[in-house]
């Protein structure tokens, strides 16, 4: 950096990075870089496997984007920006240095093998349009669950409804997002940290709805060590896995519907949800918003993380339109144009902020 001195001319001043900071940056870069490489390679191998299998499967119409699709260089630049922002959030003290999805080499090998074993099953469902296996098999999958829920979302084996599906879910999502999933979820911790600066963590009542295997609940309880939280989901197998992952007395996990929350009116301070709304029919989305508004106390926060919507980042609009053509995502197209700001206003949740982060949008609503 150049600086003017009183005697005229310029003297040079090097930016000094403390050893602690350099160590943190190096650890972060090595950890996230290896994840990026691992999941990108899995994605490439999966696509090659799928192409080979497609020759023996019924032909599928090639997907047609309805707008611009970012090239690989642009996507990589956006992932790197996501990581730079993530690290900046760590350095700003919003949350500690992350430790995303560490697996022992044995566990990694096992999960990778299971992932590749499942690829032909996903390709078969895509080629034959088989996305109702979970609905049709009433003996294995409870018919008490809502009809819209009992589907093979993403052409996933067993939908949301088996231990095998739960064990594979995070790996599959990371292959889809090149390992950047946890960094996108973590963006919700920034407004959360902001809320906790004004409130005593020990008394904050927090629920993560559709918590899955604890992708946000776990990091939230690690980041905020005096906070307790409830993870709520409709999938017992996903909750069972979450129980093993957030083994702390500060967490409890409960099986319930997001559209019928088992909490009293105005009883919660913070509610979060990650990657739920694009999986819901429009009517249920609105019910969930009303429920979140009902259970939050005035001034409480609703932290929303989900896919980008059309127009959020216009260069990605075509890519978003491809997603439901490639995967079984029955409600995604309507999600893309859902007006969540208006839905919030109707139900008593005021939109405060909305930001894109790679392929996700992070919105904060406040109960009025
Ligand atoms: C795409 S996953 C997201 C899971 C998790 N939030 C994450 O960040 O990975 C969607 C989750 O929503 C849950 N889900 C879907 N509809 C639900 C509903 N009506 N009530 C509660 N959970 C629901 C599914 O069981 C699944 O765990």
pLDDT, tens digit, for every residue of 112-152?
Answer: 999 999 998 888 888 888 788 777 777 777 778 998 999 88
Q: What is the mean pLDDT of the chain?
A: 92
pLDDT at residue 1 tops 80: no
Band of residue 14 on the pLDDT scale cut at 50, 70, 90: low
Distance 160 CA to ligand 1 centre (A): 8
Nearest to 245 by CA among 210, 275, 217: 217
b/e sequence 268-284, b meaning 16+ C-beta within 10 Å:
bbbbbbbbbbbbbbeeb
Nearest CA to ligand 1 atom 25: 235
The Cα–Cα gap between 303 and 351 comes to 10
Cβ(303)–Cβ(192) below 8 Å = yes
pLDDT for 48-87, tens place per residue? 999 999 888 888 888 999 999 999 999 999 999 999 999 9
Phi, psi of 255 (to 5 degrees): -95, 110
What residues line ligand 1, using a CB cutoff of 6 Å?
149, 160, 185, 210-212, 215-216, 233-235, 238, 257-259, 274-276, 279
Residue 60, both tokens: 């599928």
Sheet holding 205-209, edge to edge: 251-255, 228-233, 205-209, 268-274, 296-307, 360-367, 349-357
CA of 152 to the centre of ligand 1 (A): 13
CA nearest 233: which of 265, 170, 275, 290?
A: 275
Q: For residue 110, count other CB atoms closer than 10 A to its CB.
A: 13
pTM: 0.93
Q: What is the DSSP letter of 90?
A: H
CA of 134 to the centre of ligand 1 (A): 16
CATH class of segment(s) 181-367: alpha beta
- 18 vs 307, which has greater pLDDT? 307
Domain layout of the chain by residue ranges: 23-56+66-176, 181-367
Query: What pLDDT is attached to residue 124?
Result: 85
């Amino acid at each position: 950096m150049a600086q003017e001195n009183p005697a005229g001319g310029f003297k040079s001043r090097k930016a000094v990075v403390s050893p602690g900071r350099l160590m943190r940056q190096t650890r972060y870069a090595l950890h996230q870089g290896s994840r990026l490489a691992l999941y990108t390679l899995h994605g490439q191998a999966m696509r090659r496997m799928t192409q080979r299998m497609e020759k023996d499967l019924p032909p599928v119409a090639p997907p047609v984007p309805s707008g611009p699709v970012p090239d690989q260089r642009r996507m990589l630049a956006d992932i790197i920006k996501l990581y730079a922002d993530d690290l900046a959030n760590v350095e700003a003290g919003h949350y500690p240095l992350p430790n995303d999805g560490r697996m022992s080499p044995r566990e990694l090998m096992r999960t990778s093998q299971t992932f590749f074993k499942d690829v032909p099953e996903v390709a078969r469902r895509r080629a034959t349009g088989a996305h109702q296996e979970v609905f049709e098999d009433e003996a294995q999958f409870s018919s008490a669950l809502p009809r819209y829920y009992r589907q093979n979302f993403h052409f996933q084996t067993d939908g949301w409804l088996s231990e095998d599906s739960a064990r594979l879910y995070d790996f599959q999502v990371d292959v889809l997002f090149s390992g950047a999933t946890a960094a996108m979820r973590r963006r919700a911790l920034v407004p959360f940290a902001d809320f906790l600066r004004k409130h005593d963590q020990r008394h904050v009542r927090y629920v993560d709805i559709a918590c899955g295997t604890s992708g946000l609940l776990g990091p939230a309880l690690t980041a905020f060590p005096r906070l307790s939280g409830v993870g709520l989901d409709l999938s017992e197998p996903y909750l069972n896995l979450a129980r093993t992952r957030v083994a702390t007395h500060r967490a409890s996990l409960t099986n319930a519907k997001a559209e019928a929350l088992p909490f009293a009116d105005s009883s919660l301070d913070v509610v979060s949800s990650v990657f739920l709304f694009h999986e819901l029919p429009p009517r249920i989305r609105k019910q969930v918003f009303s429920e979140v508004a009902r259970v939050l106390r005035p001034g409480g926060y609703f932290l929303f993380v989900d896919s980008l919507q059309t127009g959020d980042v216009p260069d990605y609009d075509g890519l978003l339109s491809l997603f439901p053509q490639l995967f079984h995502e029955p409600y995604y197209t309507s999600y893309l144009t859902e007006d969540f700001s208006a839905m919030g206003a109707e139900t008593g949740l005021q939109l405060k902020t909305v930001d894109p982060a790679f392929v996700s949008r992070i919105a904060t609503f406040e109960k009025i």
